[in-house]
Structure 1
Amino acid sequence: MRIDAHQHFWRYQVDDFPWIGKNMACLQQDFLPQNLAPARHACGIDATIAVQARPRLDETDFLLDLAETDASIVGVVGWIDPEADDLEAQLSRWQSPRLCGFRHLIQDEATPSDYLRSKHVQRSVQTLQHREFSYDVLVTAAHLPATYDFCAACDQHTLILDHLGKPNIKGSELDAWRREFMRLGELPHVACKLSGLVTEADWQHWQPHELWPCLDVALEIFGEGRLLFGSDWPVCLVAGSYHDVFALIDDWAGERGLDKRKLFGLNAQHLYGLRAIEPTSEESPT
């Protein structure tokens, strides 16, 4: 089974998505499984992991409800509040086997590094890890030093770094990113999503081979077994189509002689602890 390990669904309401600015007008609409299906099928992607895009408990409910009615959603990375005092009560509301992990928009915190180093936040993520939930880490390159501290403290289960830690490709400021990114690779429980690069580059003028050096760094540091393909659809649409993003990773992996079974599925199944799943030829009705 070929899996896209990072994409989003939403019913658009302006107040729910303050991060969608005027320069992202193409995202100001609904994006649901039926909207993704044609592009996904065209690229030979059988299934996806739906990742939260709003910091609300009902975001997790929304994604799990979609997963109940659409068999292509084999995993959900939901939202939970690591700063809350009632974490166990929050967790008790979900029993779905499709719930494989959680994420918070750490990059949107007022002081992301302080958030990452918060002992309360770290204890909450450790609680999730003890329950064998993965945790997606969404940060920018500026926060990678604190990300290392966070990941070192939360070492009981898988952590997955989204979007290669968002290197500043447009500004060509990659030396510091590489240095801190390399440290994360030393932690065996940390994996990395090959996702989100096109939106860190010049949206109108990026070229695939300009992004390959970042992919090469990720391969060097994490190896084939800790890398996952993610489209970041529909966010990627501000800079390119689903096929553009798929081809970026697929062509690079082919040129480097990688085992695409791992990159496009097996690693996601293992790292997210997905239940036994089989490919489906038809979508369930939504």
Structure 2
Amino acid sequence: MIETFYKNIQEEQEDYFAEICLDFFNERLRVDDYRGNIPSLLGKIKSYVNAHQFTKVIIKARQEHVQLFLKNGYQPEALFKDYFNGSHAVAMTKYFTNERRKSEYWMDEDELLEKVSALPLKKDVPLLPENYHLRLAETKDADGLAKLYGEVFEIYPTPMNDSTYIKKMMNDGTLFYIVETNGQIVSAASADINYTYHNAELTDCATLPEHRKFGLMKVLIASLEEELKKRQIFCAYSIARSLSFGMNAVFHQRGYEYTGRMAKNCKIFDKWEDMNLWVNDLSQN
């Protein structure tokens, strides 16, 4: 089932190496790491785009290569501060259809971001209500997590409603924190850790609607941050739906910095979603 969503490959040629994600579900190609001859790599990327009819490419580019990507028609959309062991990565993107490039909600998202940015920082963590319990998830929780994600998200960029996929994520090192009550997982979030470059994406944030009034996501994010610091992972980032006031507010109020918006980045719920990037240096907290 995973390969119906995406396929991670290592592209090795005489003059370059790259870690590439062929993201079929989101009709895009993502380059997470690379070295060597960039023009040769870009030629290979174009062949993948043509073969799979992808409409967007995202490259986590090193700062010194931005000019070369600009020369080849790529544009910067967001800044992953400190991504490469303390050095910044720039999300360089290229679109292959006008429909994918054009966002119908950009002005609405600008307005929402202004409102979020006006909120005061608020790093204090709410207390859990009685009979709610927080803990680090284990593989035995995969079925409960899959049920949660299946209920919260009708459409999601990865198969989070599949317990087998969640178990694989855990076995590969992804951390999940959960909140449960009456034996049911009602809220969860994860940290996808890159141990090569010592960064982590805080993602897969979900709370059942009837439990959202308790600020559970703030508790989960704070817990994941503490867990990351124990592992000396200080670069934390999250990619939030640009139309979600709640999630953008959570990261802003915890001191994350907004560093860009990626147009029609993925499919969530019923449409393509623009996504805001939020970054934080946990060593400063």
TM-score, normalised relative to structure 1:
0.31
Q: Greater strand percent: which structure?
A: 2
Looking at CA atoms only, which structure, 1 or 2, has the larger radius of gyration? 2
Q: Greater relative contact order: 1 or 2 (C-alpha under 8 angstroms, separation 6 or more)?
A: 1
